[in-house]
Structure 1
Amino acid sequence: MAKALMGYSLQEFMKLTPNLWLKQYLIYIEINNPDGIYKEKPKSIRKQVTLDDIPFFN
């Protein structure tokens, strides 16, 4: 896939780190299919908890 979509040679691909390759692939998808990536962060389900809310510290 890296060779077909990105035009990498085998030597270039073997030198890339997985993180760099993933970032470049996401940029490729973003350019060619803008609706393919969900950019908004999901709302946090966790509630903010302080020390006053924990029964062991009261």
Structure 2
Amino acid sequence: MSLEEMTDEIITLTIAGIETTATCLTWACYRLARQPALGDRPAAEAPAVLAGQPADR
């Protein structure tokens, strides 16, 4: 699945409201487990987004 196809799938699941939030998160976790490199960018951006705040907040 290409990045564009995956993006289309995520948009469809999120906006269409057909699937639940839990299903969307499960799908995202599944894709990250299958292609760990997809998580590199969000992991690199997390410290800047959190701005020193703990992630559990």
Given the two structures, how large is their TM-score scaled by the length of structure 2? 0.38
Largest Rg, 1 or 2? 1
